[in-house]
Amino acid sequence: MSTLLNNLDVFTTGFRTTIILFLVSGFFALLIGTVVGAMRVSPIPALRAFGTLYVNIVRNTPLTLVLFFFAFGYPKLGLPEIDFTVSAIVGLSLYTASYVAEVLRSGVNTVPVGQAEAARAIGLPFSQTLTLVVLPQAFRSVLPPLFSVLIALLKNTTVAAGFSVYEAGAIRAYLAERGEPALVVLLWVAFFFVVLVLILAQLQRYFEKKWKVAR
Amino acid sequence: MTSVLYDAPGPKARSRHRLFGVISVVVILAIVGFVIWRFIETGQFSASKWQIFTFARVQQTLLDATGATLSAFGVAAVGSLILGLVLAVGRLSDHPWVSRPFHWFTELFRAIPVLILMMLLYYGLPPALGVKWPPYLAVVVALILYNGSVLAEVFRAGIEALPKGQREAGLAIGLRKSQVMQSILLPQAVRSMLPVIISQLVVTLKDTALGFIVTYNEILFQAKFFGSQVQYGTPIVPSAIVAGVLYVGMCLILSGLAKLAERQLRRSQKVAGPKKGAPLQATQAAQGAAETI
């Protein structure tokens, strides 16, 4: 307990950065993921092919390598300079986006074709078919896997610690200088992650209950 | 082609799609072209930056590093499959005093980031116990604990998605509970969950790259080393490309296996179910709950 209380400053700074990383990359991952997911179900073959290529390559690349590229490789390309936190956000967003895209695509695919056909048959235009019939159903089946992706993103933010970002994964390195026992420090970090994951899981349960549909 | 989202396109829509197709190809090529242009402009493709990879010693080291990655992956994969089976069976026990600890264990190790687990095992435990062990051990054990817990959920979801009659029929013909699990439930569950299991193994393979952060001598670690050699012009981007090709190649092979298994499964629908295709749907539902990155 004293390890935590004596170094509260390091812990709060670390976890604050973790939560910022999570929220910002989560937002951009949802944004990019929606675009790529839309590409994957679009009627235009070129867009479909690009979406598939993106998802297949990024899903088969380790996140560590993605962050490695943005932390060490990007600065060599002579583009506007970004600091390590921003490069971690870019890497995490691009990586998580491919998973978001897959979740959204399979969500749209779970809606039976008959639903849309029936909607068209009673004369709903494309916009209403989408907003009143297809998306509400897809959204409900997308929710649980989407939360799994977000929980994974939260845990993945720790990888940024290997690339000079001062977040929860880096707390051990900072406290090693103060001579704190690594085991105790890491157990506290693990404990807080369990708490954060439990909060997200609780949120997931709440939303699932809220939008439950009787079939 | 019809989809939920749109009808089969008519002539007007087709020409519109063609136009959008051309525009999007131009935009995508422009983005990709810009990245490649930056690479060329900053000399990432120049011979001097790639020279380091022409040495036999360097190639041998990279090969050894690939071996190190694969050896960590192989041991972790086998270990996590075994741990996953044990945890799943334990959690499905009828006795709460057995199933509850297994449940807690699974949930706990699913919630802790793998990297924190690796750090716990590499920086945390050895000094506390007064011993020293190589990073290899930390990487493998952390991967086993995490992926084993995730796979346990996958197995459990697969077993619970099976029709109830399977278990009841097994018990009715006089099999013991362990026999029902061994010869009726598990084979079917593993079969129907094979694609998810393999894609979790892809995650395991990708996560071996985390060993880079706890100084395990794998591909990315070597890439960083070669990439920071100043006398060869710090070829960090070429190193990242080499490491990327190695990782993506290995993962694509595994993912290809997952797809093959999925197709095989769809073709020979031997998994029991109330009607054709039902277990697959249940599997997909179970997949969503268990999937991780």
CATH number at B148 reads 1.10.3720.10
What pLDDT band is residue B51 in, cutting at 50, 70 and 90?
Answer: confident
**Ordered alpha helix ranges (H), chain A:** 2-6, 8-40, 45-59, 63-68, 84-110, 113-121, 126-128, 135-156, 171-177, 182-210
pLDDT of residue B152: 93
Which pLDDT value is given to residue B273?
Answer: 43
> Which amino acid is it at B40?
I
Q: Which of B288, B43, B157, B198 has its CA nearest to residue A145?
A: B288
B247: nearest CB among A61, A153, A161: A61
pLDDT band of B289, cuts 50, 70, 90: very low
| Chain position carrying tokens 């298994």 | B261
| Band of residue A90 on the pLDDT scale cut at 50, 70, 90 | very high
Q: Which residues contact B183 (CB under 8 A, 6 or more apart)?
A: B170, B175
Kindly state the average pLDDT of the residues A129-145.
85
So what's the pLDDT on residue A213? 66
* CB-based contact, B104 to chain A, within 8 Å: no
- Does B49 reside within a domain? no
**To which residue do tokens 């070129």 refer?**
A46
Q: Which spans in B53-133 are helix H?
A: 56-91, 96-111, 114-119, 125-129
Between positions 1 and 40 of A, the ones with CB within 8 A of B are: none
- Over the stretch A1-47, which tens digit does the pLDDT of each residue have? 777 777 888 888 889 999 999 999 999 999 999 999 888 888 888 88
Residue B34 belongs to some domain of the structure = no
ipTM: 0.87
Min Cα–Cα distance to chain A from B101, Å? 17
CB atoms within 10 A of CB B266: 11
Tell me the HSE value of A13 on the side-chain side, using a 13 A CA sphere. 11
Chain B contacts in chain A segment 103-122 (CB below 8 A)? 103, 106, 108-113, 115-116, 120
Q: Which amino acid is at A134?
A: V
In a domain? residue B247: yes
Is residue B275 predicted with pLDDT exceeding 50?
no
Question: Could you tell me the residue range of the domain that residue B215 belongs to?
Answer: 55-290
- Residue B120 near residue A186, CB atoms below 8 Å: yes
A99 Cα distance to chain centroid: 8
- Rounded Cα gap, residues B161 and B271, in angstroms: 11
Q: Do B292 and A69 touch (CB under 8 A)?
A: no
Q: What is the pLDDT of residue B292?
A: 54
Bigger pLDDT: B285 vs B21: B21
Q: What does the CA dihedral A111, A199, B208, B143 come to, rounded to 10 degrees?
A: -100
- What are the start-end ranges of the H helices in chain B? 11-41, 47-50, 56-91, 96-111, 114-119, 125-129, 135-160, 164-172, 177-180, 186-207, 219-227, 236-267, 278-290
**Structure-model confidence comparison of residues B167 and B284, the more confident one:** B167
> Is residue B105 domain-resident?
yes
pTM, rounded to two decimals: 0.88
Query: How many residue contacts between A and B have a Cβ separation below 8 Å?
Result: 192
Report yes or no: A91 and B283 within 8 Å, Cβ to Cβ: no
Q: Given CB atoms, is B44 within the 8 Å cutoff of chain A?
A: yes
| Cβ contact, residue pair B112, A193, below 8 Å | yes
CA angle, A73 then A79 then A85, to 5°: 60
Output the pLDDT for position A133: 86
Task: Please state, in angstroms and rounded to a whole number, the distance separating the CA atoms of residues A166 and B287.
Answer: 34
**Do the domain assignments include residue B14?**
no
Report the domain count for chain B. 1
What was the pLDDT predicted at A63?
Answer: 92
Domain membership of residue B82 (yes or no) is yes
Provide the pLDDT for residue A196: 93
Considering the domain boundaries, does residue B24 fall inside one? no
pLDDT the model gives residue B272 = 44
Mean pLDDT (whole number) for B248-276: 74
Determine the average pLDDT of the residues in B28-57.
Answer: 85
In a domain, B154, yes or no: yes
pLDDT at B81 over 70: yes
Mean pLDDT computed over every residue of chain B = 85
- Highest averaged pLDDT of the listed ranges B6-15, B50-59, B171-180, B264-273: B171-180
Tell me the per-residue pLDDT of A157-214, one tens digit each, with 9 for 90 and over: 999 988 888 888 888 888 888 878 888 889 999 999 999 999 999 998 888 888 776 5
pLDDT over threshold 70, residue A96:
yes
- Domains of chain A with bracketed CATH: 2-210 (1.10.3720.10)
